[in-house]
Amino acid sequence: MIDLFGFLRFIINLILYPFAVAFLTFYRCLQWLGLQPIAYNYQDQIVLITGSANGLGREIALTFARAGASLALWDIDDIGNRETQQQCLAILHSHNYTSRVRIYHVDVTRATEVYAYAERVRYDLGQISILIANAGYVSGRSLLTESDADIERTFDVNSLSPIWLIKAFLPYMLDANRGHVVLISSVLGIHACHGPVTYVSSKHASLGLSRSLRLDIHATHPNSRVFIHCICPYLMRTKMFNPMLTQISLKFIVPIISPHYVAKQVLDAIEWRRNEVILPYHLKYIGFINDYLLPAWFSEWFLFQVSGKRPLDAFNKDNEEDTRERRRKQVNTGQTENIDLI
């Protein structure tokens, strides 16, 4: 079996190598012509991040804190969000930055709440220049066993909440003619898999939102300096997806990635103005080969190996979002709903 895996690794590398060489040559030519990423002074930027209490959201917040940005952190997990805030403040103080970090208890699935706290952020920090729609939800159940409430929450968090955020902040970005909207989608928003059907569907919706919105801005504001980015990572080592990692095969071809790596690529996408980013990068070429060059039977076998034959079997039904909801109720007992700390 080891020899077989070694042979498969050799074949995959052989196929991908010309693509990698071509990309590197093109990239070096652009550098030789003087093309460089946009230099940002993040100390002048105000960044709003949803789902900032844990996982990828926290890593994105820490990465922007290292760059010196002021942060507005939105989540329903007040305890986790407070921990994120303290870690960001420690980083800012260690670098002698004067940037601010505020946390807000916001349920992004409620449009009226999003609009109200958008005004609160503008009053506290000013108009944001970078919006990171990161909050996500997965129930860990198949379509036929998933409750109607779970299905609605999946689309509320993954598909509808970015729309409420965009409606709340994009008009001000367009008026100022500056800003970045970053939607955290998924590779599953491009290449479907079996198992979490509603999650896959919701991530397809977020990817379509980013593409359509980008075209709409270009049509209505042709010279706008407002940019839309969509980040599509593969499975990450977070609480939300850790149970699924044991079901995945062929990790030597499509490795599990870390939230820290994805967070760094978010800043990279902003600085290079990349519209869509698939992580890890070589997954773009694997997806192209799988979709257009491989026979259907092999393509299906490959997808089953990458995503797992039964990816939901080991999924922890008491997932991260459920834990957040319980912790929110515990914190709110005897307290006001809003938590806004400096």
The whole-model pTM stands at: 0.80
pLDDT digits 0-9 by tens, 12-56: 666 666 666 666 666 657 655 555 666 778 999 999 999 999 999
Can you give 153-216 as a three-state secondary structure string? HHHHHHHHHHHHHHHHHHHHHHHHCCEEEEEECCHHHCCCCCCCHHHHHHHHHHHHHHHHHHHH
pLDDT at 295: 76
pLDDT digits 0-9 by tens, 189-215: 888 777 889 999 999 999 999 999 999
Q: Given phi > 0 = left and psi -120 to 50 = alpha, else beta, which region is 216? A: alpha
Domain that holds residue 231: 40-332
Cβ pair 28, 54 in contact under 8 A: no
Q: Is residue 338 part of a domain?
A: no
Q: With b meaning 16 or more CB within 10 Å and e meaning fewer, what string describes 248-287?
A: beeeebbeebebbebbebbbebbeeeeebbbbbebbbbbe
Q: Is residue 27 part of a domain?
A: no
The per-residue pLDDT of the chain, averaged, comes to 82
- More confident: 237 or 5: 237
Q: Is residue 118 part of a domain?
A: yes
Q: Is residue 4 part of a domain?
A: no
Q: Is residue 30 part of a domain?
A: no
Instruction: Quote the percentage of the chain above a pLDDT of 90.
Output: 56
Q: Is residue 35 part of a domain?
A: no
Rounded average pLDDT over 122-133: 97
* Residue 117 is a catalytic residue: no
pLDDT at 339: 33
Q: Is residue 77 part of a domain?
A: yes
Total domains in the chain come to: 1
pLDDT at 319: 45
**28-32, 63-67, 152-156, 270-274 — which is least confidently predicted?**
28-32
Domain of residue 245, CATH code: 3.40.50.720
Q: Which of 199, 234, 285, 292 is catalytic?
A: 199
Q: Is residue 14 part of a domain?
A: no
pLDDT at 193: 79
pLDDT digits 0-9 by tens, 301-322: 767 766 666 666 656 544 444 4
Cα distance between residue 146 and residue 205, in whole Å: 19
